[in-house]
Every structure is written in structure tokens, then in C-alpha cells.
Structure 1
């Protein structure tokens, strides 16, 4: 079931177009760096806190890149992937079949606004959105509150969010001076073709989670030392730099060191949040 308002329709159409010719191998060296950092922070702050045989919910999971990685690294885990795009869900399901974990992971085509109602009565140890999902909805706070209902008593909520300050930096670097104010207001990312509705700051993230009775256990950001070039062209400077494997590993090491520095998060191109129930959860 979809919410057929403008936001959902635009988002669905955008990601359905991405399905055509989609190949993760073409994502580039910068994207590989972001994935490596995201996996590293998950290992440091999330997986070590989850029970054996944990359950997970991948919201806006796309073609299943993270579901695949979790399901294959943790063969006792069980989960579900939900995404607005039927094409992306189909790709994720096909990948599960190819790699033999389709019995442990369910796949559902759904709007994030409907997920809490569709899965009412179910809970998960790990609820996450790793593709800037909350940046595409008009009211991220309401979505977080709804998803909190699906979180187990000791569960962890993890979000990967677009950084408002980085969007303004990128807009200004591209000469989009008239749109920088909109980026700073959190309403537009002019140089990014994705249909963002909301951009975030660390302070806003803490306040939004507090309103959902969640405490932020970790708030960091990455990458902090290297940003993608505008429009992320295949021959862009950051891509050329990171294609040298020795340089890639050196940058990855430095970026990992910054992950644990609480003052570096605001500089990251993406913001990463781990949260848990602020008070005992009663159902």
C-alpha cells in the first residue's frame, strides 16, 4: 500500500528509474569508502550489542546491499527488507535466492509511513535505514516515532542521514548560491538529483529522537576528510584519488580514527545515528 501524495510518487518514480541498469559494482571508489566506514561503525557500535540470532528490519533497503551483507555475515540472523520501489525489492529478493538466505529474510514492497501498521505486533532487535531514507520524507520525526513501535525492548535504531551543512557546502561549491539558504533551512539539496525533503543537523537529530523517547548512543559522521566531487563523475578528483589502493587504505584508516571523535561528526558528508529506548518500553 502506498501513500499516493506527491512526495511518495516522486520518490518511487526516482528509485524505479534507478533500477534500470543498476549495478552496485559501478558505484565507485568513494561509495566503497562510505560502505567500508558504515560497516566499521556498525561493527563498533551495533553488532556487538545485539543478541545471538538477532532480528533486523531494513527500511528503504533498496536492492538489498546491507541486508545481504548482514544476512551472510550473521547466518543465524533473521530479517525483513521493506522498500517503496517494487523493482528494488525484486532485485533484493533475487539476490537472497541466489545466496541461499531467502528462508531467513522476508521482502515487502511498502511505504515507510505504512510499515509500523503493516508489521504491528512484531518487534526487531535492529531497525535501520541506511540510504538517507529519512531525508525523503516530509516529517522524519513522525516516521521515527512510528518505527520505534517496532523496536524490541533492548533494540537499536540506526539511521544514515544527509548532512544539512554538507549540502550547503556542496551547493556553494557548485555556484548554486541562491539555493544555499534552502539547504541551510534543511529543505533542499540543489546539486543532488535525489528528491530530498529534509536535511539534518546533529542538534536536530538529538531533539527528534528525544521526542520519540529514544536516547542517542552514538552520533558521528563520515567521510570527513574527503568529499565526493559535484555530481560524482567517474573521472572526478576524489574518485581518481581513491582508486589508488594504498591511498584508499590510508584514507580509510584516518577516517576510522575520526569515527570515535565526537567533535568530528558534524563535518561528515553523512550523519550516522545509533539510538535506543530512553526509558523501559512497555507494550
Structure 2
């Protein structure tokens, strides 16, 4: 049977992520990546883990080398889960990480495409389904991908997504003086200013409609970082220090992190965020 055409980005994505796996470097994300990770950790602690039972089950979709699976499994030692990723190289890194950190007996690592989830995960349900690597941004029809994951969510489970912002993409395009590329970004098409093979970009309003169509209620929708942005790809050398350079100063980093953390619970932060963060749950049917 022919695979769903909604997943036509996967061939490009597989090549891209295999190349990243071959040159994998744990420290390559830099100071700005460290800031984003710290804010994502804060957001998860504030809005997700406190709502889960001690022995929760999780699915890390597009989990890559297992950075977030490691955090979940080590911080919540009674949890168990599955990491699913399209790249064999990424999965190998994730398995090595699990063995090294001592949680391999609680986490299964599966190599597979998103459209194979129904077969690969048959019979499973999860209290938490998380995608922290812009998974839905790699598809032209993200509503079909999200809809395919919902059946694996437990009745009171949480669906957590981290998404590329359409407005921030256009900002990055204009930062390098490319108005035509900004217009394409605003249409939701692939973000050419990024090396990643994005197929879709999101606005906060679209995120809400996307989840409603999958019978999910949005419990939290915010965005971050929203006070400092990464240096645009292709930008001319700035006359002042770059964001990456400034964030390498530990005092400055901590000050920015504190300010950004205060904005995490503000739903309006999504309009400024370089990334969108959404926590959703099943729409509960009323009785009677």
C-alpha cells in the first residue's frame, strides 16, 4: 500500500537527520540552544510533570539522540517509555545514551516513520506523548500526523509539542533583507533560512485549530525565547556582539533565563516566541 502523501517530507528529513547523526556533537547547540533547553525544561516542570502519575508512560516522537528521553527517564525513575525516530543513526545514539545512563530497561528505542506508528506501537497507550524537535514542522499536513498520534494517548494523557513559529521565521528572513522569503514564510511554507527541511510553520491560532480538529483541548499555548532571538543565518557580521556571544556570559545568561521564565505562563508570549510550546489533552465527553 502506498504511504500517505502527507509524509512526503520524510525522505528529505531522513537524509538530513542521518547526516546530523553521523556528525553528532552533544555540545554543538551553543549558548542559545542551552537557553532554549533550559526554558523547555522549566515549561515541562511547570505544566506537564506535575499532572502525571509517578509511574507514567511516555512516547518521545522524533526523539533523536534521546536528550529529552534521558531527562524524563532520569528525573522520573518510575516512568517508562518509547523513543521513536526515523533515523537509524539517531536511534543508535539514543540506545547508547540509555545504556550509559542506566535506564535502557525502562525505555524501548524504535526506528520508524511517523506513518508507521499504528503498526509499530499497536496496543500501546501513553500518559505523555512529546515531540520536542519541531516534529510537526517537518510535514506539509501536520494535522494528519497529530491525528495519527492521538489514539495512543491515554484518557487523561497529555500531548506536548514544540513547534517552529511562522512569525519568527519571517522575522529571521527580514533580518537578512529577504522580503520574498519572508512572504513565503508567512504563507506557512518551508523556512529556507533554516538548514532543517521544514514543511510547515505555525501561528498560535493555527495551533489551536490543529488541536481542536484532532479532538484535543489546548491547556497551555506559549512561546519562547521571546526576549532574545538567535542570530539569523546568512546575516552579515554584526557591529555589536551576537546573541550567541552575549549568552556565553554566565551572568547575562542567568538574567535572561530568569526574565524568560517569568513569561512562560503568559499565553500572549506565543506571539513573540521563536518557538511555540503547547500542552493539550483529550476533550472529555460530558455525561448524560
Q: Normalising by structure 2, what TM-score?
A: 0.93
CA distance in 2, matches of 1:95, 1:231: 31
Find the residue that maps to 2:9 and give its secondary structure: helix
User: Taking structure 1 as reference, are residues 155 and 280 closer, same or farther at Cα in structure 2, changes over 3 Å only?
Assistant: farther
Query: How big is each residue's C-alpha offset from its partner over 1:121-147, in whole Å with a ceiling of 9 and x where there is no partner?
Result: 210000010000100012110111110
Mapping 1:211-230, distance limit 5 Å: 211-230=213-232
Q: 1:232 to 1:38 in 2, by over 3 A?
A: farther
Which residue of the partner structure matches residue 175 of structure 1?
177
TM superposition shift of 1:13: 0.1
* 1:182-193 equivalent positions in 2, closer than 5 A: 182-193=184-195
Gaps of 5+ in 1: none
State which drifts further: 187-196 or 51-60.
Answer: 187-196
**CA deviation profile, 1:30-59 (whole Å, cap 9, x unmatched):** 000000000000000000000011000000
Preserved contact between residue 174 and residue 191 of structure 1 (Cα < 8 Å): no
Q: CA RMSD in A?
A: 1.9
Residue of structure 2 aligned with 1:82, choices 81, 84, 90: 84
Matched residue of 1:98: which SS? helix
TM-superposed deviation, 1:188: 2.0
Tell me how far apart the structure 2 counterparts of residues 98 and 232 of structure 1 sit (CA, whole Å): 38
Deviations 1:39-92 (CA, angstroms, capped at 9, x unpaired): 000000000000011000000000000001111111110000000100000000
Name 1:262's counterpart in structure 2: 267
* TM-score, normalised by the number of residues in structure 1: 0.95
Aligned to 2:253: 248
After superposition, the Cα gap between the structure-2 partners of 1:82 and 1:13, relative to the gap in structure 1 and judged at 3 Å, is same
Selected match of 2:105 from 96, 103, 106: 103
Between the aligned partners of 1:252 and 1:232, the Cα distance in structure 2 is: 26
| 1:26 CA drift (Å) | 2.2
Deviation at 1:113, TM superposition (A): 1.6
